[in-house]
Structure 1
């Protein structure tokens, strides 16, 4: 039974209810002062509390998409390692392998040419040798005859850490929001490539080329654009792509746009951090390489490297976000470069959660689309 399934949540709630009822029913029998009665009371209370904790944990995980499976939760997920598949004949397989397709819910239709399509795919990096799952949203116009020779702008959409790519579809509603914006004339039809920044789970690589480890930045800067353009009618013009993410994904989006402006003409960080942390989930990302460590620090980049020709957007909240002061400081630092363009969304209040990001996503998608429209 899957960690994110409704059956698991229902079973956990049922266990909690039965334990509560059992505790109330058996409490008179356990009211004595001998060790058996005391042990029984402690056991029932502990079991009930654990069941309630499990209910809350599973419900929160379903709402925010922290972990996709039991293996992901336990840190034993290894099936998406660093591998490259090859055909039996010896030639390299295609960089994008289609797994399944689905419709965009809430669009009032099931035909791709009217409601668009979501494709679950596996993407293989030819240079980084990283393989990772992703969801690709193709707008309705992609399937319409009058657009069959047209290329489309591309936005890479990143979750936070640990996060799940599916949450970008089901919880943050990126495809549905993009489709509504296109219908309202506020956004160009755009391909969305939605995935986790954690392309070598369970490690949090912070989109860094780890020495002797996952070459995550190379994957996002070179392999992913090459793979998408080889399989889809994605824009190939310099700086013609955009990238957006929340939390860790927001940091990655800003860093990739700053490091690779020839690829990403616009980058948006929703509640981002501004440098890579060092903790048990990341390990030692830099292996003593000071230059690599400096490059992963956006403050250092702004102070010591030429300002990139790209557009950045950052979001935060006056109440509820711990990065509010850092975000204001980052805006001021970018403004001082007189080359990199900076915009922001600052809410009066909003926590580090999906509800806050859903309030920011429509304006963010419109902003990125506008920055890429003239390229």
Structure 2
């Protein structure tokens, strides 16, 4: 089979650094801050970028290059840059591409720290954001102004797992000459490749399912070469680079991404089906449940439904807290995408500082619970949820 026809599971395993004279089977760690030059001319040509090579690990490192290459192969992207965290990737991507007076159109349902960037920090530099309702995609074009430069969305969204039609976003971005940026963290490159629908850049918090084991932090942006070039230059001068060790860990994690995510999704669907039939649950949202409002869109653009299940416990905030307190096996944590099942109650924790009206704008009801379904046996996860609901 030619390299061009390889499946992304194969690319995640077989994309690797050129072997050294030791003929190692797996790529070694390059724990070095800098690299030496053969002579003065080699040094000059390297710094003027006439020669492409490693200079300093804040710029590039063999381990980060391997990780980036793998994600590019999986996403169908031309180039990329790896960051210390997912939020470093989001901030650097926007900061590199925007100037004072520019405008962002974004889905209202975004990660809390991204929302803070848009509403607290970017306005200081006269960069404004207009939000659209993810459940009313027909309103997106009305948000666009002559200063709009970026169209941005997460899909599935956090924490209510709403689905946004990537084909629609791609068409709007093309019509209005906008840069389409998609946070693909919940889906991973295995379940969804937004560049096929017209995205120019795709961002991941690699801390989540890409690592998948709660070990390291990381982020990555991949996409079109000209845009990545601007992001690289910004990051090279501001320093949010991924460490070589974390890059090596994440690159190895990608080798098992497909088999892990398959199991995550299988467990999550079973959990969602169980909750949908429970008398103490008002509703359940999971992309591959037929009751999900955007089920048809999810089936069109995702291979499987992901590992996040959102549901509402009857009884509001207190019932949500009581449910968490009764869990015996599932973890209470701010992370997601781990081997371990993790449960959070956004209204009393991550989004407790928002008013009830603001929470409802992003589909966070008082009883909403988000489950990041792990790799334990599905029956054991369900038994823990069942006894906690009682």
Q: Which TM class, normalised by the smaller chain length?
A: under 0.3
Higher-RCO chain (CA-CA 8 Å, sequence separation at least 6): 2
Q: TM-score, normalising length from structure 1?
A: 0.26
The structure having more radius of gyration, on CA atoms, is: 1
Q: TM-score, normalising length from structure 2?
A: 0.25
